[in-house]
Amino acid sequence: MADGGVLRSPRIALVDLDAVSAARVAGLVRRELTAWQVPLEVYGPPDEPRGLDEIAGAWAPAATAARYANGGDVTVLVGTAVAADGDAHLSGPILALATRTSTPAFLVADEDTLTRGLLDRVERHRHCCGGSIAGVIVTGSDPAGAAPAFSAAAGKLIVAGRLGAAAPDLGLDLRSLVLTGNEAPTLVRATREPAEPGAGGIRPRPAGSRRRGLTLMVQGTHSSAGKTFMVAGLARLLADAGYRVAPFKGQNMSNNARIVAGGEIGVAQYVQAVAARCAPDVRMNPVLLKPRRGGMDVIAAGTHRPELRTVPWRLRKPLLWPVVDAALQDLRAEYDLVLIEGAGSPAEPHLYHNDIVNMRVARAADSRVLLVADASRGGAIAHCHGTWGLLPDTDRGQLSAWVFNRFFREGNAALLRPGISELERTTGVPSLGVVPEMTQTLPAEDLYGAARDSGGEGRKIAILRYPQISNFDEFAVLDRTPGVRVCWAEKPADLLDAEIVVLPGSKHVAADLDWLRARELDRAIAGFAASGGRLLGICGGLQMLGGAIRDPHRVEGDAAGLGLLPVETTFHRDKVQRHTEVEISGLSGAWSVLNGLRVPGYEIRHGATRPTGADVDRGDRPGLVFGHGNVLGVYLHGLFEHPDAMGAVLEMPVDAWQQVDRILDDISDHLRSHLDGRLLDRLLS
């Protein structure tokens, strides 16, 4: 036990011929394992069993033998076997259960009964009944010289030990028992076929088949459990199986957005649409909340709705639910399958009544729900059971499978099986699989999933990480580029040795300027620019680099910029949301390497900026690009996502979206290897 350990919860049957010795062996096993602090459950049938179902009902509160899947860290079934039909075979309830559940059984036999005839019956049982008898434990008054016939004829049976009639100690090879018991497969609910990983059970969608408007929803036990990852991987997996797939999230909260047909949506749904190989549009994220200091901007059906900013969030549901429901039903009418992502937890009592993104959506779509838990955290199974327990009965019926995400890459997933079996038993909801953690660098939608230093060696790019940062997903490509080291700067020392310093977008420019000055980062940025380092401001970062920022309509507030770029900004009431392509020209100094490039991107902004000096480089699109020596400001998002721009700035012509496409294929393969494909296929039927 000490060197081998328990690989996972083993299941062992001890079968006796005289109804005494097996119970004694079980008692000694219990004593030994207790000394090792290994939990043990021992089950035995009633005195007069009449059948397998009655045995199961009598042994435990369960009504099916599958509930003996792992009652403790070691489960032992104890009972008797009888010779019947002229010694033709061994029979008995324990052997029947062991055979049915593929539990290794050890025959506990007195030395006087270990005759050639008994051994022949054991061999016949092994050949005709699935080989449930794995070994023999010998009992008797003279263990030292017991059973020479057995020793000579045991064949492949395990000699698990010899136990004297009065021996106070356990004369067993307990490690052999435990390791053999590990060979027993994990039991699942009797109504299910045994789970097999892999997507071989997913039937390809026939070309030209009727559109059915299927839905499958992915919810989580908490935020950042892996819902977005799971929807993206399933979208690519099922699109490759022939489904016309669309992603959907009724309400998202993120300051990372992308411009699509009709307005803007969260970056997560944009990437999921790429995964599904479909054109992203505003219906895939009909409500986007963008937090900022002092409130929340509301994007509904792709359009900024400033009048909703002052509506208390508890009163927004009747205003926003029709937008969510209409988008959902439109997508269902157009696509074979809509993959729906929830938000946070579906079972928060203080949020449940105001829900427009979790169970309200599942009910509207009559959707089956996968509940994802983060298995890298302790308590994943408890999180699942707690979520199930808090939901009303009507919503519990929507829960169709558990998914345990981010299990330790080097861990043994079998260690989760006892808990998963118990979760399945108590809830009646099966597990779709355990998904090991996977390193991937898809664009993130919030600061919980990104804005961490990439580490390692290489050319350092420092990106200011102010509190109201927005659209920082465009820098994910830098994390994936060998030879580049990203530093998310929060103090002056973070700018040391940087080759480029970037001021990214901001949801509240005035607030983030206050943050920079409070940390003396304004002086550090000015010093970096004075030393000749390349300084880049994007959107809100461009506005910070300039002089005065005027806000007559009280969009964000007046502010004084850093004065490193001779420009000034005025905020307008209307918001700019559009795709943009800029041909860069006329830049001088360090940023002249961009001259001649035609770069596509997008704009999401309120402000309009104009030069205040004659020495500002403006390129072919006045108001979008401003250069002044080694300082560059652009309103264009997506500069680093263009391979020509990466080649010019860093001599590394990386195509960001080709990288994303490969990552999505990798995620799809990862899920295919670890999810129960047959169960997934049934959930889609």
Give the chain's mean pLDDT: 82
pLDDT in tens, 249-264: 999 999 999 999 899 9
**What is the longest distance spanned by two Cα atoms in the chain?**
110
The CA-based dihedral angle spanning residues 326, 331, 334, 339, taken in that order and rounded to the nearest 10 degrees? -150
3-class SS of residue 336: coil
Please give the helix or strand (H or E) that residue 615 lies within, else none: none
**Active site residue: 539, 628, 642, 670, which one?**
539
| Contact between 245 and 336 (Cβ < 8 Å) | yes
CA neighbours within 13 Å on the CB side: how many for 361?
34
Identical fold between 11-181 and 216-437+669-683: yes
The CA-based dihedral angle spanning residues 480, 484, 488, 490, taken in that order and rounded to the nearest 10 degrees? 180
**Phi, psi torsion values for 454, nearest 5 degrees:** -75, -25
Between CA 364 and CA 320 the distance in angstroms is 14
pLDDT in tens, 606-656: 889 999 977 776 665 678 999 999 999 999 999 999 999 999 999 999 999
Burial class (CB in 10 A: 0-12, 13-18, 19+), 244: middle
Single pTM value for the model:
0.74
Between CA 412 and CA 375 the distance in angstroms is 12
Between CA 503 and CA 533 the distance in angstroms is 13
The pLDDT value given to residue 51: 34
Please say whether the structural domain 11-181 has been given the CATH code 3.40.50.740.
no
pLDDT in tens, 293-328: 878 899 999 999 989 988 887 888 889 999 999 999
Please state the rounded mean pLDDT for residues 99-119.
Answer: 74
Give 67's DSSP letter. G
The residue to which tokens 């081998």 are assigned: 4
Alpha helical stretches, state H, 480-574: 509-518, 521-530, 540-545
Active site (annotated) includes residue 539: yes
Q: How confident is the model at residue 164 (pLDDT cuts 50, 70, 90)?
A: low
Q: How confident is the model at residue 204 (pLDDT cuts 50, 70, 90)?
A: confident
Q: Domain residues of the chain, as ranges?
A: 11-181, 216-437+669-683, 459-654
Orientation angle between helical segments 93-100 and 52-59, nearest 10 degrees: 90
β-partners of residue 535 are: 501, 631
Orientation angle between helical segments 267-275 and 227-240, nearest 10 degrees: 20
**Active site residue: 383, 606, 637, 674, which one?**
637
> What single letter denotes the amino acid at residue 1?
M
Please say whether the structural domain 459-654 has been given the CATH code 3.40.50.880.
yes
Q: Give CATH for domain 216-437+669-683.
A: 3.40.50.300
Active site (annotated) includes residue 637: yes
Between CA 290 and CA 301 the distance in angstroms is 14
